[in-house]
């Protein structure tokens, strides 16, 4: 059976997945530390879900519950065209609802038009622009954040949410 004909399996990250998690995060983000809203997260240590097609990793989502809901920290689909990102997002949404969370939320950056389109198409709403938050994070938390991506200055955080109630 070829990977394209196999179904996607979603399961919680387990202790034996930590190397896979670090590899996916490293390949996607160049490291495991992710700055969001003034906090530096080690995404490799967070709760989340992995997606697999057969025995091969196909994606990863990490999240951090807080008093304001569940924050999605990372979402990576390493295999395109299978709905992996959407399935991972649904898994976290179901878990957040079951835990009684009021909302699912995330931060993306001003140049990430792909993420803005992806999340809005899945029911997330733009709720805040945090002007120069990336500039501050670069100065205070994570100097490795690039100054620009695809010719767009990387300066602001955009907050999106999906209400769960």
Is residue 3 assigned to a domain? no
Distance CA 88, CA 8 (A): 10
DSSP code at position 29:
H
pLDDT band at 3 (very low <50, low <70, confident <90, very high): very low
Nearest-CA neighbor of 72 among 90, 99, 56, 53? Answer: 90
For residue 1, is it within any domain? no
Q: Tokens standing for 86?
A: 């959407």
The pLDDT, as a whole number, for residue 2 is 42
Q: Structurally, how many domains does the chain consist of? A: 1
| Model pLDDT, residue 5 | 53
Q: Which residue segment(s) compose the domain that 70 sits in?
A: 8-163
Query: 80-135, pLDDT tens digit by residue?
Result: 889 999 999 999 999 999 999 999 999 999 999 999 999 999 999 999 999 999 99
Question: 15 in a domain, yes or no?
Answer: yes
Residue 154 sits in a domain whose CATH number is: 3.40.630.30
**Model pTM above 0.85:** yes
Domain membership of residue 27 (yes or no) is yes
Residue 2 forms part of a structural domain: no
Who contacts 11 (Cβ-Cβ below 8 Å, separation ≥6)? 49, 50, 52
């Amino acid at each position: 059976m070829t990977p394209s004909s196999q179904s996607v399996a979603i399961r919680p990250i387990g202790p034996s997945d930590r190397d896979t998690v670090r590899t996916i995060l490293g390949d996607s983000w160049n490291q495991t530390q992710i700055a969001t809203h003034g906090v530096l997260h080690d995404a490799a240590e967070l709760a989340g879900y992995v997606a697999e097609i057969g025995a091969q990793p196909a994606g990863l989502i990490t999240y951090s519950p807080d008093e304001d809901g569940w924050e999605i920290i990372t979402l990576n689909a390493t295999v395109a065209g299978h709905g992996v990102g959407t399935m991972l997002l649904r898994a976290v949404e179901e878990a957040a609802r079951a835990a009684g969370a009021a909302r699912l939320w995330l931060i993306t950056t001003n140049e990430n038009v792909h993420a803005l389109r992806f999340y809005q198409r899945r029911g997330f709403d733009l709720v805040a622009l945090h002007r120069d938050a990336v500039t501050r994070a670069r100065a205070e938390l994570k100097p490795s954040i690039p100054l620009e991506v695809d010719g767009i200055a990387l300066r602001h955080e955009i907050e999106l949410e999906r209400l769960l109630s």
